[in-house]
Structure 1
Amino acid sequence: MAALLRTDPGAVAAAARRVMDRCDELARVTATDDGIERVYLSEEHARVNRLAAQWMREVGMTTRQDAAGNQVGRLDRVTPSGTPDPDVPALMLGSHLDTVPDAGRYDGIVGVLMGLEVVRMLRAPCPDGTGWRSPLPFALEVVAFSDEEGTRFGKALLGSSAVAGTWDPDWWSLTDDDGVTLHEAFVGFGLDPARVGEAARRPEELAGYLEAHIEQGPELDERGESLAVVSSIASARRFQLVVEGEARHAGGTPYDRRRDALLGASEAALAVERICRAEHHMIGTVGQLETYPGAVNVVPGEAHLSLDLRGELDGDRDRVWGAIERELDTIMGRRGLRWRAREIHSAPAVFCAPLLQDVVREGIVSTLDRGVDGPATIFSRAGHDAMALGAVADVGMLFLRNPDGISHHPDEDVSAADVASGTRALAEAVLQLAAARG
């Protein structure tokens, strides 16, 4: 299909500069002095929502903070007579503004800011000259989701789950490191827990969801390409594991009398790596390990460790977890230890809709020179808000190159040139979707 976007290359470059400058501005909104950290329902969350609302109004959108703390901007479709048409569905663009501890400045943030620039490119004046409207067969919305990472309460995708209508009342009892419950944090932020359901959207309200995001891996960088189509998002399960042994004097206990929980946990972590490396498209990560009582001269009597397990397909993920369970039974039995697991997160694989994959592909092709091969199609091992939105709308994603593939780290990066190409591709994808929907 021929490219539909007609825009000055200078305007695209200016859009990319705004995105990069605003990433820097948001990086200064942080709870720590020596890094970037913004968590759900914090003062930093409130500050970035206010900034996002300001930028949404700047491109002509009406704004609101929804009942879960997500910041939403909307550009209505306006009839030829000049009246808003609130009954048409909205195409939602967006990502998240919260971070992990000691974060980079582009994970999630780039997708929100690129969405705003797409609105700037595609908006049209209202017939009466009083503002801006969507000239497409759907309204345009940009959403800055509020808790994709799950840093504060240990449960990811809270903001987008509320929008998808999948909020679980059991989450109200989740606590942060200070013992504050999610319910208490809602009230402290000025939200009403009883109204969280008002954030939910109905399928008929949405024409789809498109998310631009840096790739949180090295595939695009290794291919020497700037953009890719996302085919699906990883199936995921997370566990907290406890290994129980016996705490005894470090000097007085010979090896054959020891039931060392740390050694059992360490062997378990190595088993996770060994099992997952042998499987295609499986990743297992032990990211936390704590021992008790934690004294230098005491054999560890208990160890707590985390397990993050991801795979392309739900069945493969569950099969590998079964293999890990059997191996841990063997390890702990041999060492005279006990172990147990508590599942704290489960998400099925989400496949991007074929039509949205097609329009994202057309968008990327519009940025390539003639004769260049079409863009890569990549499976996302990282989770995204699109996973939650898949319960209520068709979803599509566009990846941007991340040099060296590092993410969740201050060295995370993206170039202004790739942001420019990605913004143009995303705008073109929106137009291609509009053409396909008539």
Structure 2
Amino acid sequence: MNAERMIDRIEKLAQCSRSVRGVTRLAFTKESEQANHLVDGWMKEAGMKVRRDALNNIIGRYEGMDPDAPVLLIGSHLDSVAEAGKYDGILGVIAGIEVVHAMHENGIVTKNPIEVIGFCDEEGTRFHTTLLGSRAIVGSLSEEDLEARDHEGVTVAEAMQAIGMNPDQYGRAARDPQSILGYLELHIEQGPVLWEKGQSCGAVAGIAGQSRFEFKVEGQAGHAGTVPLSMRRDALVGAAEMIQAVERIALEYESVVATVGKLAVLPGASNVIPGVVEGTLDVRSLHDETKRNALLAIIEEFHRIAHRRGLVCHIRRVMDSPAVVCTSQYVQTIETVLAQRGMKPLRLVSGAGHDAMALALITDIGMIFVRCKEGVSHHPDEYASPEDILESATVLMNVALRLTT
């Protein structure tokens, strides 16, 4: 395994960006095509045959002793959020290529074929929809998904056409579940647990289910100097109490995290009592029933607060995805390799979504998290050390060998 080669490739991909600060690489753009071109060449250097599927996922195949045997998929995504770090998604693709490169250089051929995948769109930054690439492979993508628009009004279908693709063929990206052995994904943790524990990598037990809502609190705007406090129907004061309730209730449920991440206060003048507040609510947990119970308690409290203050609260569900539990055999295999390399068998829960969530619909999944400095992610300061990258890629290779021989 060659850490210098991996670092060099990560740095080269970071240059495929439309922003100077951090990395901004959106799906079906000039920057994503530049990244695909680089990855294509590296996959071929590693001894793989390369193709792009009908949704522009780039796939390198390393043939096994039995070409008809189910294939082990190793992958992650090549797109980014705006002004992102260098490692999110990218590290998983580069580590997968390095695993195959090391096997190729050492004459190792596994029974099962191995395919490394760079998914075209996981973050959903451009079109405000997530997991386009992996959902296409699973077969859960729809024509409606191709009509999602970016901020300039360009649809997914139009963006595909702009780089020479035929969006009508998107269904051809779907894979037969019987042809897949399983899926492995290596990814930076995007949290502080490994950093605090002082360990290079760990096994992922599962990916938290996520529910997103939009809420609107309606009160009565008025003059800030003439309406007594006792007679006000201040939407912002009510919303503030609701936000505190979100934190209080979430703390009562183990494994639940809840966030109010966006607020708009209207009319938004310093001398006017806020009449309307619009906001977002994000609730996540590895246990769907626990998440559901916490949500019911939060929603009930929102309405109770609104009623007491003479306000009206509207809540609309935007998105709901169930929790995904990683395959126990894969988790145990990762833990065995960790122990053999002198590490603790740490099990981590991912609060962020990953392509593995989609692949879990059709095959077994396993994930390896890599320590990132202070848990910082989705930010230019995102960082994983060469030592941790090498160690985690070595763990990935050993897990892949155990699953394919």
Normalised TM-score (structure 2): 0.93
Q: Give the stretch that moved more between structures: 241-250 or 26-35.
A: 241-250
Note if contact 1:367-1:424 (Cα within 8 Å) is conserved in structure 2.
no
The equivalent position to 1:174 in structure 2, one of 119, 136, 148, is 148
Give the secondary-structure state (helix, strand or coil) at the position aligned to 1:123: helix
- Following superposition, the deviation at residue 266 of structure 1 comes to 3.0
Deviation per CA, 1:276-329, whole angstroms, max 9, x where unpaired?
122211111122222334344443333322222110111111111111110111
Q: Closer, same or farther in 2 for the Cα pair 1:31/1:344, shift >3 Å?
A: farther
1:42 aligns with 2:29: yes
Q: How does 1:86-235 map to 2 (within 5 A)?
A: 87-123=68-104, 135-235=109-209
The equivalent position to 1:276 in structure 2, one of 239, 246, 250, is 250
Corresponding residue of 2:44: 57
CA RMSD of aligned residues (A): 2.2
Q: Give the stretch that moved more between structures: 167-176 or 203-212.
A: 167-176
- Following superposition, the deviation at residue 216 of structure 1 comes to 1.6
Q: How does 1:207-356 map to 2 (within 5 A)?
A: 207-356=181-330
Give the secondary-structure state (helix, strand or coil) at the position aligned to 2:144: helix
C-alpha separation in 2, matches of 1:61 and 1:407:
31
- Following superposition, the deviation at residue 256 of structure 1 comes to 4.3
Note if contact 2:65-2:110 (Cα within 8 Å) is conserved in structure 1.
no
> Alignment identity in percent?
41
1:384 aligns with 2:354: yes
Report the AA paired with residue 163 of structure 1. I
- Following superposition, the deviation at residue 212 of structure 1 comes to 0.7
C-alpha separation in 2, matches of 1:420 and 1:156:
29
Note if contact 2:75-2:116 (Cα within 8 Å) is conserved in structure 1.
yes
Q: Closer, same or farther in 2 for the Cα pair 1:73/1:344, shift >3 Å?
A: farther
Corresponding residue of 1:365: 339
Deviation per CA, 1:34-85, whole angstroms, max 9, x where unpaired?
2322222222222212221121112121222222222211122256xxxxx3
Give the secondary-structure state (helix, strand or coil) at the position aligned to 1:236: strand
Report the AA paired with residue 22 of structure 2. G
Report the AA paired with residue 401 of structure 1. R
Give the secondary-structure state (helix, strand or coil) at the position aligned to 1:396: strand
Corresponding residue of 1:68: 55
Give the secondary-structure state (helix, strand or coil) at the position aligned to 1:152: coil
Corresponding residue of 1:410: 380
Q: Closer, same or farther in 2 for the Cα pair 1:325/1:419, shift >3 Å?
A: same
Note if contact 1:232-1:380 (Cα within 8 Å) is conserved in structure 2.
yes
- Following superposition, the deviation at residue 249 of structure 1 comes to 4.2
Instruction: Structure 2: state its 5+ residue gaps.
Output: none
Normalised TM-score (structure 1): 0.86
Report the AA paired with residue 91 of structure 2. V
Note if contact 1:155-1:345 (Cα within 8 Å) is conserved in structure 2.
no
What is the number of equivalent residue pairs in this alignment? 405
Q: Closer, same or farther in 2 for the Cα pair 1:191/1:294, shift >3 Å?
A: farther
C-alpha separation in 1, matches of 2:269 and 2:151:
22
